[in-house]
Amino acid sequence: MNNLQKSAFTLVIQPEEKIENRVYIIVNYLAKTYLESQWLITEIDATGLLGNRLTSILNNQENATISSSDFLQLLQEEGQILDLEATLVKSSQEIITVFIRDGYSVDILGVTELLPVNVLNNCIQVDANLFDTQETERSQPKINVVYQKIA
């Protein structure tokens, strides 16, 4: 955990896979590795009991913090996570961010050591700078993008 290297991966999701199951493996590993950490949820659109509750909370406030056990419960409940941005935080340090987009794309951005291959499983390494939005937010106006899923 001394290697402070930024890395990014896109999970390769097979058609028969449920993305929540893949993310569960990662969150479960992180919960065991980073004890007493919290997840900062800054974006969520999800169904299910806990998913609906968090979606409603984030419609009214900027973020919410949940425990790893609550996050694991969210990933196991009946329902679907359509959009998510969740960052593992321990002692005010951001460890890893999980992005779910449109219910089928999962990106993992880490600011520490790489996750083990058996945890990431099938993935593609991508340029971590693609996720560095601080510079672009200062230099460009924010653009709202509306995603439409075509049936």
Structure tokens of 97?
């961010």
Q: Which residue has the higher pLDDT, 132 or 58?
A: 58
Whether 149 is in a domain gets the answer no
Q: Among 79-83, 122-126, 145-149, where is mean pLDDT lowest?
A: 145-149
Q: What is the DSSP letter of 22?
A: H
Distance separating alpha carbons of residues 94 and 81, to the nearest angstrom: 22
Q: For residue 111, what are the domain limits?
A: 7-139
Is the residue at 145 inside a domain? no
pLDDT tier at 128 (50, 70, 90 boundaries)?
A: confident
For residues 79 and 2, what is the distance between their CA atoms, to the nearest angstrom? 37
Q: What is the pLDDT of residues 55-108, one digit of tens each?
A: 999 999 999 999 999 999 999 999 899 999 999 999 988 899 999 999 889 999
Rounded Cα gap, residues 22 and 36, in angstroms: 22
Note whether residue 1 is domain-resident. no
- Identify whether 32 is part of a domain: yes
| Phi, psi of 6, deg, nearest 5 | -80, 130
Looking at residue 114, its pLDDT comes to 65
Q: Where are the beta strands (DSSP E) in the chain?
A: 7-11, 38-46, 64-67, 81-90, 93-101, 105-110, 123-126
Sheet of 64-67, strands arranged across: 64-67, 38-46, 81-90, 93-101, 105-110, 7-11, 123-126
Report yes or no on 51 lying in a domain.
yes
Q: Looking at the domain assignment, is residue 150 inside a domain?
A: no
> What pTM does this model have?
0.81
**Number of domains composing the chain:** 1
Q: For 121, how many CA atoms within 13 A lie in the half-sphere containing its CB?
A: 15
Higher pLDDT, 27 or 124: 27
> Percent of the chain having pLDDT more than 90?
58
Domain for residue 100, yes or no? yes
